[in-house]
Each structure stands twice: as C-alpha cells, then as structure tokens.
Amino acid sequence: MQLFLHLKWFFRRYWYTYALAMLMLFLVGVINMAIPKFIGDAVDQLLASQQQSATEAYLLGLVAGGFAVYLLRYGWRRMLFGTSYKLGNFLRQRFYVRLTKQGQAFYNAHSTGDLMARATNDIDAVEVAAGEGILSGFDGVLTFFLVLIMMFVFIDWRLASLAVLPFPFMAVAFYRVSKRIHSQFKDSLDKFSLLNQQTQQAMTGIRMIKSMGREPIEAQQFNAIAEQAAQSTYQVQRSEALFGPIIQLSLGAALLIVLLAGGWQIHSGNLTVGQLTSFTLYLSELIWPMFAFGWLMNIIQRGNAAIERLDELLNLPDTIADNGQQTAAGYQLQLNDLAFHYPATQQANLQRINLLLPQNHTLGVAGATGAGKSTLVQLLMRYWEVEHGSIRLGDVPIQQLPLSSLRGMYAYVPQDAFLFSTSIIENIRMGREHATDEEVYEAAKLAAIHEDILQFPDGYHTLVGERGVTLSGGQRQRVSIARALISVAPILILDDALSAVDVETEQTIIQHLRQRRQQTLLVISHRLSALEQADEIIVLSHGEICERGTHQQLVAHDGWYARMAAYQQMEQAMESVAYAS
C-alpha cells in the first residue's frame, strides 16, 4: 500500500473518474453474480417441469446481462486506464522539469542511461499500478465478497465454510512471494539502467569504438551486462510464475471439498442439483479474484520498487537554489576574491580571482589545460555555487537573479559543440525561436559557415544527424557559434569554440565578432591569435590569475603568454613553409 499512499494526491485530484470507474465495476460484479444464480434456478426449473419454454425468461436475462456487462466494461476501461495514462504523463513532465533544474553536480553523479531508464521503465511500472493495480484490487475484492455472500447467504453457509478453508494458506503464500518480487524487481530495474547506460555510451561513441577497433571488447561488455539483466528479469518471472500454481492448488482443494461435501448433502436431501451447480459456478468465479490478488501483489511490488527509484531523484533538492527575484541593471561582470573547488577534490580549482568586465568589452582567457578556464565560465552561469567571494552582474549578486534571467544573459558556445538531431536552420534558430530565415543567414555569415552550408545538397535544411555527426568538427563549432550569435543575449562566451577551425577562418570570425560592439565578448582559447584583439587578457595558472594585460603588454613580458605566443608563431611559420613546399 506504500505506492497508493504515495499517489494519494493524484487519486484526490481524479477521484471522480476513479469513483465512476469503480461504480461501473461494481455493477459488472453484481450482474456477474446474478448469472450463476440464473443458471442454477434454470436447471432446477428445467428438471422440475421438463419444459424448455420455462427457461426462456432466464435465457433472455442472460443475454441482457451479457450486453450490459460489455458496455460497462468498455466504460470502466476508458475511465480507469485513461486516468492512469495521465499519471504517467504527469510523472514524466515532473521528472523532466526536475532534470532541467539540476546543476552540474547532479549530472556528475547520474548517468544518462540510468536517467533514461527511470523516465521509461520506472514510470511505466507506476502507471500500470495506478491503472491495472486499482482494477485488480477493487474488482478482485468486490468479486470475492460478492461470491462469498452468494455462497453463504443464498446457497449453503456450511458448504461455503468448508470451501474457504484453503484460502488462508494461499494468502500466506502470496505475501511471501510478493516480498521476494519487490527486491528482485528493484534489482531488475537497476540492471536495466546499467544496460541502458552501456547502450547509450556505445551509440554516442560509435565512431571512437570503430576507430580503435573495440567492437569485440564492447560487444563482450554489453553481452555480460545484458546477461545480468536477463538473469535478474528471469528471477522476477520465476517468482511471478508461482502465483498460478498457488491459485490452482487452492481452488483445486476448494473444489474437491465442495464436490465431496456437496455430493453428501445432495444424498442427504439438504441440497439440490441446481444449488450445487450454482455453488460450483460461484466457486469458479473465485478464479478471477485469486488471479487478481496475485496480479495485484505483483504490480504493486513492481510499482513500489519503481517509485522508490523515482523518489530518489524527484525528492532531491535542487543543486542550485533558484530563489532570486531581482533584475540586473546592465550586464557588467565583476568578480571579487572568487574561490572554488569541486566536491570530489580538495585542491582549489580557482582562487583569488578578481576581475572587472565592463559592458561591450572583450576579455580573453588563456592558460594551460586544467588551469580553471571552463570552471570560471560555469561559475558565471551558476552551474556551481561559489564557495568564497562573489560574482556580480549589473551590480547585483548572481544568487539574487532568477536562473532563467541570469542564463538568458549569456550566449554560450562550449568546447564540445552540441547540435540537435534536426536541420541546420532549426539548430541555428534555437538561439532565437522566431528568427527569420534572413536573420539565420546573417548569423551563419558572421560565423563563417554560410558558404559551407550552401555546398550541401539540401542547404540549410540538411539534417545534421545525432549530435551533428554528419558535420565536421569545425562545421559543428561554427553552427554552434551561429546559434549563439542569433540570440539577443548581451554576453557571448566562446569556450575554446574555435579550436577546430583554421587560423584564417578563426580571424574572420573574431573580426566579425569585434564589429558587434553591442555585445560583451568572453573568449577562452588555447590559440592565442584568437585573443590578440581583446581589450584585456588574463592568464590562469593552477586556478589563479598569473598574468593580465593586453596582447602587446603580455608579449613584452617574459611570461607564459609570451613564450606560448612565440611558440605558436614559430609553429604557424613552419606550417606555412611546409604548405608552400
């Protein structure tokens, strides 16, 4: 019953549909109970009068009852299952909203495959419990008690008392099997999550798998996980299969008792043949309640296991609190004594960061791999909470801004350019939903991708495939840049977003961006040529700003920036000589 208590809010909201469905189920049960009585009375009257005409009224009643049952069954199915589908839809919507509100720490702890499994299999199990669980529970209990009333009140209470003797033993067996199913089904869901995770990783990294010749290794790993999932599911099915034999043994024992005791009562003259016929038919009516109880135990335990896994995520607090209500007066960025380290590490990833980025200025960020450049960007957008110091946007602490408002201030192009499985024009238009085709073309020109797109057979309507797999790395980056440029966000962040393009294309894009003086630009790049025109450049080393100034000022000093600039210039010169030869 834990599942039903958990979903009581849903039952309160749709009480009227459940009440109407249960009323229809009740009427079906009453009609079904009348049918064996009709048949028994018809048998007795036929034996007494030996005339077929005497049973015509009973036959008409049976036909009318069957037609009424048909209509009522259609009605309760539509009401009951239609409402349970609403529950599944609501849970999926709630689950998706929870995912969108979680920060980076949440996704570091949960794999995509596991989240997908919970959004599908787990919610399906809860949905089935809210539909078929209610059906089998209410209908089973109703039919069971109606049958007992008919047997005890209208047939023979002594024979009925003997017939129910096996049922307590069946109840004990049901309880033990259902407890086993709960733990086994939870383990089955966990194994399915692992299988889903392995499949998702294989599909995402299929290029890498093929290039490294890892197909046999990946297949072996997949087969091992699939075998574990199959074994776990098999254990569940083995336990579920026990319900049938338990029911058959109990009903078989009850039927044997009824035939022996009933035959003795007929011989003694205390029971008629028609009454024994009716009693036997009523006993056969108990087959459905018994199976209903078994099925109820099964799907409720499945639902309990699933709701436990869902609650683990649905009840998690947001990793980033969204309580801000202020509005930024401008978009100047100011960082004061900023410090941060990831939860899994003890060493500071950023420390003593002080920075002022006025509106419509360009800031360049350089540094070795792991220096903290991408971490800085993630803190600006509140993917993580600042541990020490403050970040202010428009002279307002970012914690006091609504997350949607804060992140709406940024047009962000990450290192790993992500494209959706749709056309190029729709990918670019995601930066501004109602942008015209001309605005899309203009953004593509600024990102130096327009001419490349025109070379495709379908032009801007070319499908890019999952994660942009049909495009080259440089093309994906430039489409992502175009998507950012078409937005109206006042701050543009390029997180090493030019690494896959050549120097000439890089300079073209940077020049186009410099002409957009209505937008603040933050450029992170390992290629220092992308930072030359910045108003200020900072160099990060071990999470600290070790150098800052313009390109000319930093080159004049004998620091990391100057050495790296000289090395890259020499590298470019050597490449030019090699290309010319």
326-383: pLDDT as tens digits: 888 788 999 999 999 888 777 888 999 999 999 888 899 998 888 888 889 989 988 8
22-67: pLDDT as tens digits: 888 888 877 777 776 667 676 667 666 655 555 666 677 777 777 8
The full set of domain ranges for the chain reads 92-314, 331-409+520-581
Lay out the sheet containing 388-393: strands in order across.
350-357, 333-340, 388-393, 396-397
90-131: pLDDT as tens digits: 888 888 888 888 877 788 778 777 888 888 888 888 888 887
Say what the pLDDT of residue 363 is. 92
Lay out the sheet containing 362-367: strands in order across.
410-413, 491-495, 520-524, 362-367, 536-541, 544-549
Query: Quick one: how far is CA 489 from the chain centroid?
Result: 29
Give mean pLDDT, residues 510-520.
77
Is the per-residue pLDDT at 211 higher than 80?
Answer: no
Is the per-residue pLDDT at 306 higher than 70?
Answer: yes
* 89, amino acid identity: N
Query: Which class does domain 92-314 fall in?
Result: mainly alpha
The set of residues, in sequence order, having a beta carbon less than 8 Å from that of 458 and lying 6+ positions away, is 423
* 130, amino acid identity: A
Cβ 274 vs Cβ 43: under 8 Å: yes
Cα-Cα-Cα-Cα dihedral sign, residues 293, 299, 302, 307: negative
Query: Which class does domain 331-409+520-581 fall in?
Result: alpha beta
- Location of structure tokens 């009840």: 315
Tokens of 125: 């199990």
Tell me the three-class secondary structure of 344-382, residue by residue: CCCCCCEEEEEEEECCCCEEEEEECCCCCHHHHHHHHCC
Say what the pLDDT of residue 578 is. 58
Say what the pLDDT of residue 49 is. 63
Write down the mean pLDDT value for the chain: 81
Say what the pLDDT of residue 538 is. 92
450-473: pLDDT as tens digits: 988 998 888 899 888 766 667 888
384-442: pLDDT as tens digits: 888 888 999 988 889 889 888 888 899 888 888 888 888 999 989 988 888 899 999 99
φ/ψ bin of 448: left (φ > 0), alpha (ψ from -120 to 50), beta (otherwise):
left
Is the per-residue pLDDT at 579 higher than 60?
Answer: no
pTM as predicted: 0.69
Say what the pLDDT of residue 46 is. 66
Report the greatest alpha carbon distance in the chain.
121
Give the number of C-alpha atoms closer than 13 A to the C-alpha of residue 270, restricted to the C-beta side. Answer: 11
Long-range CB contact pairs, 570-575, < 8 A, 24+ = 572/503, 572/529
Say what the pLDDT of residue 251 is. 77
